[in-house]
Amino acid sequence: MIKAILIFNNHGKPRLIRFYQYFAEDMQQQIIRETFHLVSKRDDNVCNFLEGGSLIGGSDYKLIYRHYATLYFVFCVDSSESELGILDLIQVSLIYFLIYCSFNWIFIVFVETLDKCFENVCELDLIFHMDKVHYILQEVVMGGMVLETNMNEIVAQVELQNRMEKSEGGLSAAPARAVSAVKNMNLPEIPRNINIGDINIKVPNLSPF
């Protein structure tokens, strides 16, 4: 079982955090700090497996991590997970996510070398699409177990759900709806200057959101 998936940058700033076991909020932050401390000490040419820190469960758990450019991807797993398999999962799936987030394509040619991948994708894509990445991750790992590994499936399913969101207006489109609602209303001419008592309000043009 995967206990946690942590993605943080070279300074330990969290970029995506997902725990599949309950930890109190301050404990979560402590675990992130401890994991960063353990993982950032490692050279680039050593193996990608570590014993879990004491906060996350100690030697019963392993930290499987990969370091790409400015990001660390860390999976904390117990003995029921295949270490090499999880490493593959990070390599195969997570890079796909980032590419998907930044370019929003459905069919992406899988790039063999990860360094090449990361030229086109940067940490900012992960930062600004935190919610999207969570949704993609949900299609790959569920309840701490690997759900799906076929990239085309995952991308197609996420894309359809994103389309449903878009058709409703999405997270941030509320003002657009308000504007269209206003456009449909029969309003009298909006006064440009409103004077009430000693309050003077100038109403500028409503620009589209």
Site for other proteins in 120-159 (CB under 8 A): 127-128, 130-131, 134-135, 138, 142-150, 152-153, 157
List C-alpha distances in Å: 166 to 1, 23, 25, 177, 197.
Answer: 34, 33, 32, 12, 44
Smallest distance, Å, CB 117 to other proteins?
A: 15
Instruction: Of 29, 74, 18, give the one whose Cα is nearest residue 51.
Output: 74
62-101 residues in contact with other proteins (CB under 8 A) are 82-85, 87-89, 91-92
- 62-68 and 71-77: which strand pairing? antiparallel
Binding other proteins (rule: CB under 8 A), the pick from 119, 160, 200, 208 is: 160
Q: Which is nearer to other proteins, 22 or 116 (CB)?
A: 22
Smallest distance, Å, CB 141 to other proteins?
A: 9
Are 18 and 134 a contacting pair, CB within 8 Å? yes
Binding mask 12-51 for other proteins (x = CB under 8 A): --x-xxx-x-x--xx-xx---------------xxxxxxx
Are 53 and 31 a contacting pair, CB within 8 Å? yes
